Structure 1
Amino acid sequence: MKSWLARSPLVAILRGVRPDEVEAICDALEAEGVLIAEVPLNSPDPFESIRRLAARFGERMLIGAGTVMTTAKVAEVAAAGGRLIVTPHADPAIVRAAKEHGMLAAPGFLSPAEAFSLLAAGADALKLFPAEGSSPAALKAMRAVLPPETLTLPVGSVGVENIPAWRAAGAAGFGIGGSIYKPGDTAAAVAAKARALVAACSLAS
């Protein structure tokens, strides 16, 4: 996960995307340097979208699923070709299932207790969610006790305006939802938003 985040600190959360538009959206993301994308499982026909992205983008992008709530869904994502599992909650069983399938796992957490339990289960990165319920100061304080190599990604109301503060607090990357894609967005609109976010990350590095 570290090597992916070094190349692309932004994870595009494509909530609500449809299979018939997902390839064009990811074409736009890749062109702007966003190389990690997750299709939340509460999107229309998410496994078909994941299948199409895995077939089209292969090793060039890290494709996975978000809002993964059960271990059974992990197996379905793996069968569709996804390589990343993201959860909104702290469930070590889902982390272990992802690792059993040879996948990367970025589960959600909001407290040090949750963070340590997820790391013990083998999490590759930790999703600070909802980030609007936390703060850069809280992340900085937690990073003081977490293992120094821990990769943390704030998710929730993250955008151009607050990326610098999160980066200064030690965020390794960012999960971006509505600030990069909303249902109905064209590929051109996504490209423009991605371009601004990539620039913000570059300035904050």
Structure 2
Amino acid sequence: MTLPLIGILRAITPEEAVAVGEAVLAAGITTLEVPLNSPEPLESIRRLAEALGEGALVGAGTVLTVDQVRDVHAAGGRLVVSPNCRPAVIEATRRLGMQSWPGIVTPSEAFDALDAGATGLKLFPAVQVGLEGMRAVRAVLPAGTRLYAVGGIGEDTFAAWRAAGVDGAGLGSALYQPGQSATRVGEQARALVAAWQAAGGEA
């Protein structure tokens, strides 16, 4: 079963990408995001997509423009994650057959994203919105909408967020920090997966 966790490899380099990606995948996290403000992000995405193949969903984060969407697709990415909600970016992503996860905070942004065809919604920054704010947004979303919390969520808070209604999470600095070895990242990934599962988040 695919875990609803996105591994965010911010600031990773192409030379590190495959070893770190393989370690994260081995721990059970099959969705990997390389933010476009990383060094040579498109090259990292290309290497990850080639090395991990169909076993992982690889793509980019911090995607802000339609041109960037096209660049990610050309590099072999199949996932576009944004910190904001731009319908044109979402529509371009879906036209190219990729998953689209735009960032939202308000109901207006959430419905604009869904109208544009978003695969799911990224509540960002989750730590700013908080559990009560998230519940209020969740209450008005259409049934079946996937809502992932990103930003300030980790092992210690999985249970609370899961109980409040999030479907998944994006994992950044808790999973990977620049310069960490693939072995270290693998250990962190396994700990995060175990904590998610212990919080009742297997699905």
Q: Determine the structure 2 residue equivalent to 1:43.
A: 38
Shift of 1:67: 0.2
Query: Aligned-pair distance for 1:185?
Result: 0.7
Indicate conservation of the 8 Å contact 1:37/1:63, yes or no. Answer: yes
The unaligned stretches of length 5 or more in structure 2 are none
> 1:76-91 to 2 correspondence within 5 Å?
76-91=71-86
Task: Report the CA distance between 1:192 and its aligned residue.
Answer: 1.1
Q: In the alignment, does 2:120 pair up with 1:125? A: yes
Correspondence 1:1-205 to 2 at 5 A: 7-205=2-200
Paired residue type of 2:52: F
Q: Could you tell me how far apart the structure 1 residues matched to 2:35 and 2:50 are? A: 18
Q: How far apart are the structure 1 equivalents of 2:40 and 2:5? A: 24
User: For residues 82 and 170 of structure 1, what CA distance do their matches in structure 2 show?
Assistant: 29
Shift of 1:81: 0.4
Identity of aligned residues (%): 49
RMSD over aligned CA atoms reads 0.8
Aligned length: 200
Query: Structure 1 stretches of 5 or more lacking a match?
Result: 1-5
Structure 1 stretches of at least 4 aligned residues deviating more than 6 Å after TM superposition: none
Equivalents in 2 of 1:163, 1:79: separation in Å? Answer: 35
Shifted more, 163-172 versus 112-121: the winner is: 163-172
Deviations 1:20-53 (A, max 9, x none): 0100001111111011100000000000000001
Contact 1:9 1:201 in 2 (8 A): no
